[in-house]
Amino acid sequence: MSFAPALRLCARRIASPALIRPSITFAGARKLHSGPSRQDKPGKYAQTDPQIEVEYPEDHELPSSEPVAGTGGQYVKPTLPTFSLDGHVGIVTGGARGLGLVMGQGMVFSGSHLALVDMNKEEAEKQTSLLIEAFKKENPRARRTPKVTAHYADVSDPESVEACIAEVVKEHGKIDNLVTSAGFTENFEAVNYPIDRLRKLWAVNVDGTYLFATSVARHLMERKAPGSIVMIGSMSGAIVNVPQPQAPYNAAKAGVRHLAASLAVEWAHANIRVNCISPGYMLTALTQKILDDNPDLKAKWTSLIPQGKMGQPQDLMGPVAFLLSDASSYVTGADIRVDGGYTVT
């Protein structure tokens, strides 16, 4: 007896593939974290010198996707409805710039309302307007525009986190999703790592992730509502990066990865899913500046990546949208590594 499906698959010839094109321009510059009070010299692959100011290129823009051009004209490429975030309310910490902002854009373009959380509220407010403009440009016939708001929080301060969550709930009425993207790295040899910087790194990368996750979980449990939390870890939580010395950062990201797994089990009864995304080397505007000053470093990194290239920020859009959506309703406690194959070699 044959069980072959009585379906015929049709292939549609596409005149030109979908391209990533810019939609939002970054402006201004941001100073990195100030250096330690003592005179220890950090590694050359991370910049913590207060005299260094990284200029974000004026023409640096967020990616977006054009409509697919087919033989019958332009059309929206179909996908499963479970991948939609339509009507969801999501939070992204560290959302005013970099990877957090790009992941936030992916959420908005998937239909989600969004709360951008950052210590730099002014920058977050600027980006909310740009995100809305980008959405309207990409979806000129959309009947609804996602609501995007900006909020301040020091992720390492419990009171600041609780105040931020209350503000988001007041503004949006609820919270469904969370992406914990706030974090930073520094390079010091372990024997010379300034203790104040070590504590700050742990407070932001680990404590901040925990505080936001537990606060959102309490909100979801009070509503008896399902939810999805995505913690942004790093491949550094599973491997030891070379040549840069960053033992505390590696340990912190390993902690984030296991925190996601632990909370996934603890909160499964409440239908709250918790997963981790571990990016590899991403070619952000900030990373590009560092590599421009250390050309041998880029060659070293790419030589260790099976795909032979660094990742782009937009490579995180799909995994985040997947894990936040109902398409991943039976996925929890997972760690998705977006690293070009680095950690499997």
Q: What is the phi-psi region of residue 124: left when phi exceeds 0, alpha when psi lies from -120 to 50, beta otherwise? A: alpha
Res. 204: pLDDT tops 80: yes
Confidence of residue 91 (pLDDT cuts 50, 70, 90): very high
Catalytic residue among 45, 193, 249, 342: 249
Long-range contacts (CB closer than 8 Å, 24 or more residues apart) made by 237-242? 237/278, 238/278, 238/335, 238/337, 238/343, 239/342, 239/343, 242/300, 242/304
pLDDT of residue 31: 37
Write out the E strands in 66-193.
68-70, 73-75, 89-93, 113-118, 148-152, 177-180
Residues 169-198 have a mean pLDDT of 95
Confidence of residue 166 (pLDDT cuts 50, 70, 90): very high
Query: What is the 3-state secondary structure of 306-344?
Result: CCCCCECHHHHHHHHHHHHCHHHCCCCCCEEEECCCHHH
Catalytic residue among 228, 234, 278, 328: 234
Active site residue 210: no
pLDDT of residue 232: 98
Cα(314)–Cα(56) distance, integer angstroms: 17
pLDDT digits (tens, 9 = 90+) for 8-35: 333 333 333 333 334 433 333 333 344 4
Cα(213)–Cα(196) distance, integer angstroms: 25
Catalytic residue among 45, 236, 253, 328: 253
Res. 214: pLDDT tops 90: yes
The predicted model scores a pTM of: 0.79
* Residues 6+ away with beta carbon under 8 Å from 51: none
The domain limits of the chain are: 84-344
Task: Give CA torsion, residues 112, 323, 218, 213, to 10 deg.
Answer: -100
Q: What percent of the chain has pLDDT over 70?
A: 77
Judged by DSSP in three states, 179 sits in strand
Active site residue 181: no
Active site residue 234: yes
Which residue from 239, 228, 234 is spatially nearest to 256, judged by alpha carbons? 234
Which residue from 246, 248, 102 is spatially nearest to 179, judged by alpha carbons? 102
pLDDT digits (tens, 9 = 90+) for 282-341: 998 878 888 888 888 889 999 999 999 999 999 999 999 999 999 999 999 999 999 999
Task: Write down the CATH superfamily of domain 84-344.
Answer: NAD(P)-binding Rossmann-like Domain (3.40.50.720)
Cα(249)–Cα(254) distance, integer angstroms: 9
Judged by DSSP in three states, 278 sits in strand
